[in-house]
Amino acid sequence: MKKNKKLKNEEIVKTHENKSALLKEEAITSPAKMALKNFLSNKLGLVGLTGFLLIVLIVFIGSSFLDYDPYYSQGIMKNIAPGSGYMSVPGDLQDEGIRNISVGTTFSVGVSNEDNLYVWGHNPAKNQQIPQEVLDNQGNINQVAAGDNHIIVLTNDGDVYGWGERNHNQTQIPKDILEFANQDGGIAQIGASDLYSIILTGNGTIKVWGATLPTGLNLISKDYDGQVEEFEAGSTNILVRTKDGKVLVFGTRGSEIDTARPEEIKEGTKKITEIARMRYSGYATSEDGENIVWGSPLDKAYSIPEIEGKVIKAVSGREHITVLTDAGKVYSWGNDNYGEINYPDGENYVDVFAGYFNNYAVKEDGSVDTWGLDGFIMGSDEQGRDLFTRLVHGGKMTLLIALVAVVINVILGITFGIIAGFYGGIVDNIIMRFGEIVSSFPFYPLIITLSALLPVDTSQYERLIMIMVILGLLGWTSIARLVRGEILSEREKDYITAAKALGLRESKIMLSHMLPNILSIVIVNATIGYASSLLTEAGLSFLGFGVQPPYPSWGNILNASNNVSVLELYWWRWVFPGLAVFLTALTVNLIGDALRDALDPKAQER
């Protein structure tokens, strides 16, 4: 018993010593340091702070590294699921030697020097299985061609097989075309593009099948049968080089790739040896090495780099052109939407392939350098835009709007709250009744009405100013009531009486003596209010009355997903923006809760 009693007494002594040490530490530690210590000891608060800082870094610093054109759209890339590795060339293909590579929208297909077929990338040909007859011809494949979402192959025996999207029968060569090709020197070249496929016969005649009616490709003049040497397929027309060096356009007429063709290549006064194309622009090189470009400035066709050597091969992308020179170097130019013109500054290249948004350059040792679109981390949206890029730039808009609104809230709330609490009486009564009137305004109906009354030509900048100001003007009342209550308590304390006795001005007393003592409570309330403003902006944009497309915000990105088909089929379009809003609001709330505990004197005593 004596031993237990002794141990108990020792524990009591230790407890008193610990309390004494704690009291000494608090006595020499400033309130700010104590609050910081309390905050750092709050694990949830640290998680919130880390998460919010990470979001801010990604949004504000990451956006400076991600080029974004709000008006850019690419219909053939719409609703692509998250994925990567679009340009991961199979090692076996490199080992066997690359004969040919054809590029689709998010996948590629190649043939080795041993006549084997390889397919890689994301969602190749609508994820359809390679037909058994193609698998049976492994080791007998001659050529491959990839369209937007389909693939066709040519065997050494002259058979053509296809798979993938077939809504216009673009994967199956018509019997009459195949019979004609067999009688016209066989099939020399195959090709594919958006919803259609092409062959070039050995005697120089083009035949097209698939979605040919809208583009007029079914009406190709027979005047040029037997004269075609090479073709480059586009979405609505085909650029052709004839055997006598002319450049023609088959299919839809009227675009710049047709109307802006120089006379010298129309008439054949300069014999052309290589051709390539973008959507509305073309490129040709003559036998004397001259590089000729024409077409729409939208394609940036005229931004051709300084080329070392003579071009010996030119290949076509969707909105860019890539060439190989006799100096063993490659060059790309045009629109840089997915990095497709970031060509390597290397040498010893012996072949080059391109299509849509990807490029492959083969070196002498068989290795391959690639550049272009390697994937959508978070998928693409309904207009083919990279969702990750839109979320980063949209987050900047959402976070800034919420920040400015909170700053306005805090300034107005502190101003009205201090004045009401310090003076009291009729001043207090007027300010508080005015605050009640402001807080009684129905926020969403008001903002929707004001948005509807805005002129049609209202700029995005003016709309954003309106949203920030209204969020600030209608949200200050809660902070004002909180500050008023604290000031009513502070004004009765001795240090305020002493300050008045010393003759200090009232503004000096309020700003220099009273405000610092209530600032901690304001910070906590502002932090939590920031999360509320964030959700409010997202809600407004979701309803279509906030940030207007094509400019992104998290709310209007969610709004674009507001239908059943998106919810069922394209989960990434609502999951990722929803997570962005949720995680940001959660991290800010965790910070606010941790600050409240850290700045609470009772929490410090515990």
Question: Same domain for 132 and 272?
Answer: no
Domain count, the chain: 3
Same domain, 296 and 324: yes
Residue 65 lies in a domain: no
Asked whether residue 132 is assigned to any structural domain, the reply reads: yes
Its domain, for residue 589, covers 32-60+387-605
What is the per-residue pLDDT for 21?
A: 53
- For residues 293 and 324, membership in a common domain is answered with yes
Q: Are strands 141-146 and 98-103 parallel, antiparallel or unpaired?
A: unpaired
pLDDT of amino acid 606: 45
106 burial (CB, 10 Å; 0-12 / 13-18 / 19+) is buried
507 within domain boundaries: yes
Shared domain for 395 and 519, answered yes or no, is yes
Q: Which residues of the chain have pLDDT under 50?
A: 2-3, 7, 13, 603-606
**Same domain? 545 vs 420:** yes
Q: Indicate whether 215 and 300 sit together in one domain.
A: no
User: Does 66 fall in a domain?
Assistant: no
Q: Are residues 55 and 190 in the same domain?
A: no
Indicate which CATH number applies to the domain containing 175.
2.130.10.30
pLDDT at 603: 47
Backbone dihedral angles phi then psi of residue 589, each to the nearest 5 degrees: -65, -40
Residues 484-500: pLDDT tens digits? Answer: 998 888 888 888 888 88
CB 148 within 8 A of CB 104: yes
Whether 348 and 449 map to the same domain: the answer is no
Closest CA to 143 of 122, 164, 167, 117: 117
Asked if 283 and 150 sit in the same domain, the reply is: no
Reference 251, options 268, 273, 231; nearest CA is: 231
464 & 585 share domain: yes
- Is residue 9, in this structure, part of any structural domain at all? no
The CA distance from 243 to 31, in Å, is 87
Residue 577: CATH number of its domain: 1.10.3720.10
Q: Decide if 26 is inside a domain.
A: no
**85: in domain:** no
Same domain, 146 and 275: no
- 365 and 402 in a single domain? The answer is no
pLDDT of res. 16? 56
